[in-house]
Amino acid sequence: MPQSGTARRNLRELPKAHLHLHMVGSMRPQTLTALAEEAGMAMVLPERFLDFKHFYTAYTLANRAIRSAEHLSRLVFEVVEDAAADGAVWVEPTLYLDSFTEAIGPGELILDIVADALRSARDTVGIGARLIVSADRDLGPADAVRQARLAARGDPDVIGAFGLVNDELAHPIEDFREALAIASNAGLALVPHSGEFGGPDQMAATLGLGVARIQHGIAAARDNALLQRLAGSEICLDVCPTSNVAVGAVESLDAHPLPTLLDAGVRVSLNADDSLLFGCSLLSEYELARAAFGFSDRRIAAIAEASIAHSTAPAPLKSSAVTDIHRWLADSGQ
């Protein structure tokens, strides 16, 4: 349902945070092509996906293009640079640290490489960034504990949160309590994936584990009690409309529950998830909110403000960004 008010302002100029994006999945297509050619690899990614498994196969193929510390540092820099180009003042890319064990080395080394690259990118590009270290459900609770311990030992200036990715139906979040507790005790925000393919029961279980944000979380729209619970909480859902449709979690944009979530008072951020694979960006998701959902500048500004407020950014950056969001909205006449 279109919102009242005429949209006038440039959405690129709206300060925002990008909170749900995967490092490899956010690679530039031209970078993937260049790295694949350098490695002598055939690299043709599908334009459409049959289901989540098909998508994940393509993701792992792209992952193989990262063959050195230099490749990884380039990836980190470009992800931060692209976030800034879309108007982000803060970005939190997600990475499973043992993704490049064979090509580069163990997670400990990867963390050092990424930390240095992230600091350099922040200084050069001029926006804030911290990493979300993730565990992979498919690799089991023991590996999740390893990832949590790696994250807990990292520099809190570089690592802000701990996530949990992959098949939530086969691997319920309760199986990962120990890993989540390790990360939480280290002061990291908990930001697991939940409620994309899993139902409200998975969402309810996730809410009981002290999470700060939920990546996806769209299943909440199917349960009024859960909607009310979320609306009364300080939890933000990091929603990715294009991604949800592309992997078949939602039938179409017309059926996407984003308006339902917002109408219920749930805090929501907008995100690209995997721009390399879905052909979207942080900016295009904001443009989609205006064009497909008819959101007014006021509603879009509220989404941007939620993304800032629920990020792991330091307080001065949050305060400055929120002030600039209010200025953007005032300039739009809304």
Asked, for residue 5, whether it belongs to a domain, the answer is: no
- Lookup: tokens for 308: 């800032």
pLDDT in tens, 118-170: 999 999 999 999 999 999 999 999 999 999 999 999 999 999 999 999 999 99
* Percent above pLDDT 90 for the chain: 87
pLDDT of residue 316: 98
Average pLDDT for 59-84: 94
| Nearest C-alpha neighbor of 165 from the set 64, 63, 29, 44 | 63
pLDDT of residue 41: 81
User: Based on C-alpha coordinates, what's the Rg of the chain?
Assistant: 19
Q: How many domains does the chain have?
A: 1
Lowest model confidence (mean pLDDT) among 40-49, 243-252, 267-276? 40-49
pLDDT of residue 6: 53
> 3-class DSSP state for residue 14?
coil
pLDDT band at 56 (very low <50, low <70, confident <90, very high): confident
Average pLDDT for 270-284: 96
Q: Do 187 and 206 touch, CB atoms closer than 8 A? A: no
* Percent above pLDDT 70 for the chain: 97
Please state the length of the chain.
Answer: 334
User: What are the Cα distances from residue 90, in Å, to 84, 144, 307?
Assistant: 8, 26, 9
Average pLDDT for 22-47: 88
User: What are the Cα distances from residue 235, in Å, to 26, 192, 215, 219, 232?
Assistant: 25, 12, 11, 15, 9
Cα(84)–Cα(80) distance, integer angstroms: 6
pLDDT band at 2 (very low <50, low <70, confident <90, very high): very low
Domain range enclosing 171: 11-331
Alpha helices, DSSP H only, in 40-106?
A: 52-63, 69-85
Cα(121)–Cα(195) distance, integer angstroms: 32
Is 211's pLDDT higher than 90? yes
Asked, for residue 132, whether it belongs to a domain, the answer is: yes
Lowest model confidence (mean pLDDT) among 45-54, 81-90, 110-119, 171-180? 45-54
Asked, for residue 198, whether it belongs to a domain, the answer is: yes
Please report, to the nearest 10 degrees, the dihedral formed by the alpha carbons of residues 287, 292, 297, 302 taken in order.
-90
Q: Do 107 and 98 touch, CB atoms closer than 8 A? A: yes
pLDDT of residue 332: 55
pLDDT in tens, 302-317: 999 999 999 999 999 9
User: What are the Cα distances from residue 308, in Å, to 73, 215, 244, 289, 326?
Assistant: 25, 15, 22, 17, 12
Asked, for residue 3, whether it belongs to a domain, the answer is: no
pLDDT of residue 3: 45
Cα(313)–Cα(29) distance, integer angstroms: 28
pLDDT band at 53 (very low <50, low <70, confident <90, very high): confident
Please report, to the nearest 10 degrees, the dihedral formed by the alpha carbons of residues 115, 267, 286, 89 taken in order.
-30
Burial of 54 (0-12, 13-18, 19+ CB in 10 A): middle
Asked, for residue 234, whether it belongs to a domain, the answer is: yes
Q: Do 250 and 221 touch, CB atoms closer than 8 A? A: no
Mean pLDDT of the chain: 94
Considering the entire predicted model, what is its pTM? 0.94
pLDDT in tens, 72-128: 999 999 999 999 999 999 999 999 999 999 999 999 999 999 999 999 999 999 999
Name beta bridge partners: 161: 132, 189
Asked, for residue 6, whether it belongs to a domain, the answer is: no
Is 60's pLDDT higher than 90? no
Indicate which CATH number applies to the domain containing 40: 3.20.20.140
Asked, for residue 1, whether it belongs to a domain, the answer is: no
pLDDT in tens, 212-260: 999 999 999 999 999 999 999 999 999 999 999 999 999 999 999 999 9
Alpha helices, DSSP H only, in 186-254?
A: 200-207, 224-231, 241-246
Asked, for residue 2, whether it belongs to a domain, the answer is: no
pLDDT of residue 1: 41
pLDDT band at 331 (very low <50, low <70, confident <90, very high): confident
Tell me the catalytic residues: 196
